[in-house]
Structure 1
Amino acid sequence: MKLFRSTAAALALTTGLLALPAHAEVAQQNTSGDPLYTANAPGAFSMLGDLLIARPLLIGATAIGAVAFVVSLPFTALGGNVKEAGQSLVADPAREAFARCLGCTSSVKNEY
């Protein structure tokens, strides 16, 4: 009788563990309606990493880019590419830091 119980318990545990990925996939579906968020469908670990690591680094990159933009402003004004320098040094990192959904890989919206 002990062999039957241990075999039944092992079978039940194995079946339960095999069903976990299917359950996790159903629980992770997005219903927000945002096509960018639906396309990326970030998980909890990617959201946590984005919040604790990527966002502070992007905010720092925005601040450093703003300082670099101000320092390079006389040279970019002479070259006539102030808009491009501001876009790449300040606006792009700021958009990725503040306008991107949590856990998404890019804030660029793809046309579907």
Structure 2
Amino acid sequence: MKRALRLLAAATIICTVSQTTQARPMDEDADQPSALAMFGDAVIVRPVMAVGTVGGLAVYTVMLPFSVLGDNEGEAAEVLVKNPARATFLRCLGCTPTQHERKQAEKKIREANAAQ
């Protein structure tokens, strides 16, 4: 019985270790949005976000007098108008926010290297 348990434990350890050593190499294409993600973003997400941006602008306009009294019109504009507009019009097609941030960082690095 002890021998069978040792054999089972050894087999389990070998299987576990071999699984981690066979990890796939990172593929740069995995960071790229798929065609389905681009299509869904263009047809569904962007129009909904555009409506959200217009709605945020309407709420900001109505709440502007109160924001001025509270001295936080800049913060209100950032949250209600600028952030939704950036997400709607400046984000790459089909990208998640993380992918977009990574692409922007890579672009800045390329520009800095080209300037040298």
TM-score by length of 1: 0.61
Q: Distance in 1 between matches of 2:63 and 2:83?
A: 17
Does the alignment pair 1:50 with 2:37?
no
Q: Which runs of 5+ in 2 are unaligned?
A: 1-26, 107-116
Residue 60 of structure 1: how far off its partner (Å): 0.3
Aligned residue-pair number: 77
Match of 1:83 among 70, 74, 78: 74
Identical counterparts, % of pairs: 42
Match of 2:52 among 61, 64, 79: 61
In structure 1, the residue matched to 2:8 is none
In structure 1, the residue matched to 2:95 is 104
In structure 2, the residue matched to 1:33 is none
Judge conservation of contact 1:40–1:105 (CA < 8 Å) in 2. no
In structure 1, the residue matched to 2:85 is 94
Residue 41 of structure 1: how far off its partner (Å): 1.1
Judge conservation of contact 1:58–1:97 (CA < 8 Å) in 2. yes
Q: Distance in 1 between matches of 2:74 and 2:56?
A: 14
In structure 2, the residue matched to 1:4 is none
Q: Distance in 1 between matches of 2:65 and 2:48?
A: 27
Q: Distance in 1 between matches of 2:43 and 2:82?
A: 21
Residue 40 of structure 1: how far off its partner (Å): 3.4
Could you say what secondary structure the match of 1:103 adopts?
A: coil
Does the alignment pair 1:73 with 2:70?
no
Judge conservation of contact 1:58–1:93 (CA < 8 Å) in 2. yes
